Every structure is written in structure tokens, then in C-alpha cells.
Amino acid sequence: MVLSTSALLPAIAHGQSLPASSSALWAAISRTSTAVLLPLDAVTHAAPGTLPPSYIVHLPARAAIDPASAITLLNNGAHAILTDSPHTLINQLGLPLDRIVLSITPDTATPLSELAADIAAVYITLPDALALHDAQTAEIISHYTALLDVKNTGKPVYVATNSSSVPTTDDIKLLASQAATLVVPYSSLTISENEAAAASTLDFVSAFFSPLVSDRADGLFPTLVVAAPSSSSLGLVYSSLPSLRACVYTGDATYQSRTRGLWRKGATSGATQQVVRVRVDCDSDAVELTVRQRQGTGFCHLAKTRTSCFGAREGLAKLEETLLARVQDAPEGSYTQRLFREPELLAAKLREETAELIEAKDSEPEHVAFEAADLLYFTLVRCVRAGVSLEDIERSLDAKARKVSRRKGDAKAQFVVPASVEKAAATTETEAAPIKAPQAPAAATDDNSLPIKITSYTAADLSPEERVKLQQRPAIGSSAILSIVQPILADVKARGDAALIELTRKFDRAELKDGKVTMLPPFNTPERLAGMKPEVREAIDVAYKNIYAFHKAQKVTTGNRSAKEAGLASTEGEEEAEAVLEMETMPGVLCRRFSRPIQRVGLYVPGGTAVLPSTALMLGIPAQVAGCPTIVLATPPRPDGSVAPEVLYVASLVNASCVLLAGGAQAVAALAYGTASVPKVDKIAGPGNQFVTAAKMCVQNDVGAQVSIDMPAGPSEVLVIADEEAPPSFVAADLLSQAEHGPDSQVVLVGIALSPLRLAQIEAEVDRQARALPRCEVIRKAIEKSVTVLVRDRGEAIRWSNEYAPEHLILQIRDAEGIVKEVENAGSVFVGPWSPER
């Protein structure tokens, strides 16, 4: 990227904040091609919309910055980063060198010759003893302009001094004659309607135009006027220094008429122009003025409605002009007006024309052009209907061009050719790698070098329709899943253990030892628990104690009398301390509510590459506390037929009757119907992928199974609300805790007033931690379905959460406990950074 050149580079000092957007000087600079040098802290804390169109970020001397933060600065609009780091550190950042301005000081040891061909510019700080007019200064500048081949490349050479005196226009003209740009402290600049400047200040307009020269006898400068969208030429006029000052100062296009003098365009006709940008050409003898013409008026002085002195606009600019006219006043029967009024028709035509462009053959370029023109027409109708102009689109394209990192760019699931059901079944062998739904993306060539990054949205920019769409879960093709699940259920129901052995071999790729589909107590033998770390066992013991105490407390606090007092302990099997709700609804009518354990329960614990003793604890302990006589724990075996020792240890703690060595729909079938080795159960509980959920729903609806299930589970999900104070590493860990569950999982980050730097730090942590996990590729697929939503305040954050209704809600915000009362829809709430979901 070639930086725009100007006669001066205004620089805001470290520790200073950005000027107010209402500042006349700040607005004037934004109307020129002048870039501004901004300190990192000012950029980091800048409010949206306050940064200038072109700016360079100045890192503090010898500052260290992580790659993600540097990339975020460039992605968010910075044209370049000024750094004094040696080139080896620049390479370590992995940034493109054409976005680096290298700071050169008297003690710089960087061999610039190795970087000159690639860097964007150099920033020379002169030694204290040198003045701008010294011969040695000219030699230094000449050395670097030659090294950067400025004449051919146009790369800027910025020159700064340590002098406390205010630069003059003569200083700027001198450096401009040497193909260099003077760095001027912003605090030294001022602006006024005339050339007068206060003492010890430098007038910005005089400084910006100081290199300008005229080869005309009248001293005027040829000025090319171009339209903001498409940069199409409107006409050739002349400017003087006073007219240019008026353009920059007021923002109203003002020219110098050779007959009428100073001429503010449209002052009498109403055909005014807003100045978007002023820049000087490479020879400093002509000016280009980019303007925004008032709608419905033209530029040509001969015909008020003629847009350009060179004739009517063409192409997209002409199409936009026509569409804008149709919005205001469409002729009867106008098809364009109909498209504006019927959004469903417009949407249908966009889909139709997109498909026709896709189907057009490369061997027929005229046909491709024809279909592309149709699509561009309907696209521009869509934009005009939403108040979006070509200028807005160009601005978006320019912003994208400045980005140095890109999303992977894969198409969304609904636009990819569906994978076949057979392929989905074949690719799913374990619970940890579930079968892909038919509408999921076909396996593409994965680029593992791309960042694992959640797509970000700003809530304020979303339409109601987009908001609803973002709050939807990833789609699951239930009909295709059922077509896979139902034959499995029927097979296990008919053939029992034999079917389990075959299906375990097929889907879990596991050979069961001695053909046994269950494992019986004791589970905590040294052989079975080999490989479990002592600290893991200790952690499980602590969790078991805490979870048991919580569930036990429910049995003694959900009534108003003990079982003993109610007379139920001895005859009904209640423990004496357990609670019974008893009330007399009317004289002589006594009602009691008391609990009884389900006799046989099946607990499904996902497996594969994921080891989930936490799931076994959360399922097994309630069954144990309830006093269920038969507890069957089902989990997919590992390839050698064994089970993770952590899960077996929990099975021992909860007094499981047996462990079923199977996963997926086949395990659900065995629990529901029973086999020669597997006890039939009365209720099945526990999470699983979409195939496990579908199987549970099928057996519940089978009157022959006579089995109930818990609430059907969707894909795992978590929503994390984080503010600027949340530790990025904690936020990332909470998001990944659910993303690693499966490729159909979804995680959501709702960021409250997050600065670009803090968001970049969180994104960098997600990428770093994900790559360190064994299920990195599963996480990558889940992250593609996940979103970050940036909101302004806590109220907006909690509204988004309540509308989304997450399975798990984590509050990593200041005074997290104070906002819990506002939570309306969430499966579980984890309060504060020290309350992780996992």
C-alpha cells in the first residue's frame, strides 16, 4: 500500500487525546490528503467515527505489541504503523512490510537497505545539532529518498526535528523540494478564514498548499473536479489560494472564476457541492477536488441538470443516478418502483440473477457480462432502497483493502452442495466426531494457518431481521438424521448384543474385549484406573463432595416437614430427614408431596477424544442421591475397548450397576429396549450429539419401549458477557469450553463497549488456546458457527442474552452479581471470572 503524500504530517503527541470532531482544524485536515500521526493510546480509546480518513499509528519507543493487536490496528483502518523496532522484530510480528513506517534515529542500527523495497515509508528524526536548512540535513534526506527510490515509488520520507520552534511554510517548501514531508506537531497548527495565524503557530492551509506553484500568468491552478462515487470527472475549473482555503476551511466547493472572481459553487443556483477531499498532483501545479454533488442538481454551468461538463454519467454512476430519481418520482408502471415497494420480489430476483450468473459459462464471456449487469442492477436497487450509495460501497471496499487478515471465506452451510447421508454416516465413527448433518458444508481444503476467529458484529448496525438471524442456532437436518437413527434402533432392538458389537466396531472403531458390551463393578481397580493422574482424582473427589452436598440439600429443603414427622420414613422408604410438603387444603383434607426414586436409569456420557467425568458426576450423583437401585452408565469405548479411567472412577463413586460400552443411537437403543447384557431402563438422561438426541426422542415415542427421557438437548452452547475489565485469557477459555464439544456447537461473546485492542486480545487468546487443545479442528468448525456481538452497555448485553436464551451464561463483567436479577432466560449462570463452566 502506497501512503498518500502531503507537504506536512501533523503529529499528535503521546499522552494527548484526539481533538473534538467539531474542531475546525480537525475537520479541515480530514478534507485533505494529509495523513495524521496518532499515538497508540489515542487510537485505542478513540470513539467510533472520530478517527481521520488517513492516519498512521505511532507505537511508543521500543514498545512491544502482540501480532493480533498490530493486525487489528491495520484492519480497523490504520494506513500504517510507525515503529522503531528492528526489522527482525517486524518479521516476528508477521505484518506486511508495506504497512510499516520505520523510525530512523541517529543511533538506529537497522540495515535499511534490506527493507527499503518493502516498507511503506521512513520517519527520520534529525540529530539535535542539525537544522532543516543545514547541508548535512539535505544529504541525509537525499540518502533516504534515493534508498526508497522516491521518484518512482512515491514513498514518503517523513522528517522530524527535536526543535521547540514552530516550523514555517518556508521549512515545508524546502523539504517538499527535496521530496520529503515535514512532521509538524498538531499543537503548532491553527486555521482561519484568512491567512492570518496567531503568533507561534502555523496556518494549516498555508502549510498544505505551500509547495503549490502555477505556470500561468494569472497565478491560478488548474483544478479537476471529480465526483465522490466512481471518481468520474465533472469538469475543469481554476483555483486560487483564497478559493482553496475556503474549500478546506468551510467544506463548500469554492473556485476562482477568471471573470467573476471568487465563486462559491451553487450559492445562487442551489447546485452546491460538499468537499470530500483536496489533493495536489505530483508536480505541485494542479489540484484535484473530490466533491459530493447535491442530489438533483448538475455541475455544468450551461445546463443545471447536466451532471458533468463532459457529458452524462455512464455505467454504475449513471444507474445510481437513475435509481435515485425513481425513488423520488417514478413514471407509472415503473418496474424499478415496483422493486422498491415489494421487497419479496427484489429478494427473489437477487437470488434468480445470482443463480444465472453462476450458471453462465466461462466460454461465453458476453453471457457472463450480461448476467453480471443484471445482478448489479438488482444489487444497486437493494442498496438504494436501504439508503446505501456507491460512495458507501467504495468506502467499504477501501476499508476491506486495508485489512491485512481475512476470514477463511468458506461459504455458509446453506449455500454449499449438501453432503450425502451415506457420507455423513461413514465419516462419523465416535461421539467426539459426530455424523455431519446432510446440509453441513462439504469437507473443504482446510487452511490451518488461518486464525481461529469468531465473526464480529456491532449490534447497533444490525437490522431487526439480522438480529433475529444471528440469534438462531445452527441448522440441523432432522429428517436425514432420523433416516440414519431409526435403522440403528431397530437393529439393536432385534439383535441385541450382536448388533451392539457390530455397531460399536463400525461407528466407534472399537473392538470390545471378549465380546462383552458391559463392564461390571468394581470399576476402581488399579488396572482400570491406570493412567489417571493423582491431581485429577483429587479434583474429582472435591467436585463429587460439592455436587453431592448440593443435591442432598434439595431433598431436605423442598418441603415443610421431615419424612419422620409426616409418618413416611418407616413405611414408604423415606429417610427420616428428607422433606415432605404437607398442607391441609381444607378441614380434613391433607395433601402431601414426596419423592420416590426411579428404579432403573440410563445415563449417557459422551466420549471419543473428549473425556467428560464432569458429565458423569452431574448425571450420576442425582441418581445416587435419589436412591435409584439400578444405574447404567453408557459411554463410547476407546479404540482398544477400554473406558477413560476418570469416567470409571466416577462410576465407582456413584455406585453404577454397570457401564455400557457403546455410544450414539445404539447405546440409546440398548438402554431403552434392553439386551441380554444391558438392563432395560425406565428413563434415559444425558447430553449427546444430534444423533443421540434424535434416538432418545424416537424411543420416548415408542410405546413398546416404555421409557422417558430428559429434555432433548441441542448442540452445546455458551454465551459470555464480557466488558473491558474481563481477562482475555479467561474469556477465551470460557468460549472454548463449549466449542470443543462438537462441530455443531455454538459460542457467543457479547462485548460491552470493548475497545478494538481488547477485542483483538480476546481473539488472539481464542486462537492461541484453541491451537493448544487436542480437539482444535472440532473447535475450528464450531467457531465458524459462532458470533461476537458488540453492544454499548450492560442493559443491551443482557437483552441480547435474554433473547438468545443460552444453555450456559457466563458473566465476566464488573459487579456481575448485580446483574443476575435481570437474567430471565438461561439454563445456568456462572457469576464472575472465577466461575468457569468447565
Q: What is the pLDDT of residues 507-533, one digit of tens each?
A: 878 888 788 999 999 998 888 888 888
The size of the chain, in residues, is 838
DSSP state of 451: -
Strands 518-519 and 658-661: antiparallel
**Residues 660, 635 contacting (CB under 8 angstroms):** yes
**Residues identified as active-site:** 807-808
- 726 CB neighbour count, 10 Å cutoff: 26
In a shared domain, residues 283 and 325: no
Whether residue 649 sits in one domain with residue 551: yes
User: Which H, E and C letters describe 267-319, residue by residue?
Assistant: CCCCCCEEEEEEEECCCCCCEEEEEEECCCCCCCCCCCCCCCCCCCCCHHHHH
Look at residues 401, 431, 465 and tell me which one is the last residue of a structural domain. 401
In this structure, is residue 455 part of a structural domain? yes
Helix (H, G, I), strand (E, B) or coil at 441: coil
Is the domain of 136 the same as that of 120?
yes
55-58 and 658-661 beta bridge pairing: unpaired
pLDDT value of residue 553: 86
Shared-domain flag, residues 240 and 343: no
Q: What is the CATH number of the domain that holds 345?
A: 1.10.287.1080
pLDDT of residue 427: 35
3-state secondary structure of 634: strand
Domain for residue 67, yes or no? Answer: yes
The residues near 425 (Cβ < 8 Å, ≥ 6 apart) are: 435, 484
| Peptide bond before residue 185 is cis, with ω within 30 degrees of 0 | no
Q: In whole angstroms, what is the distance from residue 766 CA to residue 454 CA?
A: 9
CATH of the domain at 619: 3.40.50.1980
**What local confidence, expressed as pLDDT, does residue 260 receive?**
82
Structural domain span for residue 753: 450-474+715-831
Q: Report the CATH number that the domain containing residue 242 is assigned in CATH.
A: 3.10.20.810
pLDDT at 12: 94
Q: For residues 217, 219, 222 and 228, what is the CA-based torsion angle, rounded to 10 degrees?
A: -170
**Number of domains comprising the chain:** 5
641 lies in the same domain as 623: yes
Question: What is the DSSP code (8-state) at residue 680?
Answer: -
Does residue 236 belong to any structural domain of this protein?
A: yes
What would the DSSP string read from start to end of 218-244?
T--EEEEEEETTTT-EEEEEEE-HHHH
Residue 660 sits in the same domain as residue 518? yes
Single out the residue in 401, 427, 458 at which a domain terminates.
401
Residue 786 DSSP label: -
Contact between 817 and 833 under an 8 Å Cβ cutoff? The reply is: no
For residues 690 and 600, membership in a common domain is answered with yes
- C-alpha 661/C-alpha 663 separation (Å) is 7
Residue 573 is assigned to a structural domain of this protein: no
Is pTM beyond 0.85? Reply is no
**pLDDT at position 429, please?**
33
Same-domain status, 15 and 139: yes
- Looking at the structure, do residues 31 and 168 belong to the same domain, yes or no? yes
Domain membership of residue 25 (yes or no) is: yes
Q: Which of 401, 417, 440 is the last residue of a domain?
A: 401
Q: Which three cell numbers stand for residue 14?
A: 503521546
Identify the segments of the chain with pLDDT beneath 70.
Answer: 1-2, 4, 62-64, 67, 85-94, 106-114, 196-197, 229-230, 295-297, 301, 303-305, 405-449, 475-480, 563, 565-577, 608-610, 714, 837-838
On whether residue 496 sits in a domain, the answer given is yes
pLDDT digits (tens, 9 = 90+) for 282-302: 889 999 999 988 765 677 767
Domain check: are 127 and 236 in the same one? no
Indicate which CATH number applies to the domain containing 177. 3.20.20.70
Helices (H) and strands (E) in the chain, counts: 28, 31
pLDDT at position 740? 84
**Do 273 and 197 reside in the same domain of the chain?**
no
Would residue 74 count as lying in a domain? yes
Specify whether 664 is located in the same domain as 804. Answer: no
Q: Please indicate, yes or no, if residue 420 is contained in any of the structural domains.
A: no
- Asked whether the beta carbons of 816 and 832 are under 8 A apart, the reply is yes
Please write down the long-range contacts of 219-225, taking CB distance under 8 Å and 24 or more positions apart.
220/256, 220/258, 221/285, 221/286, 221/287, 222/285, 222/286, 222/287, 223/255, 223/286, 223/287, 223/288, 223/289, 224/286, 224/287, 224/288, 224/289, 225/253, 225/273, 225/289, 225/291, 225/299
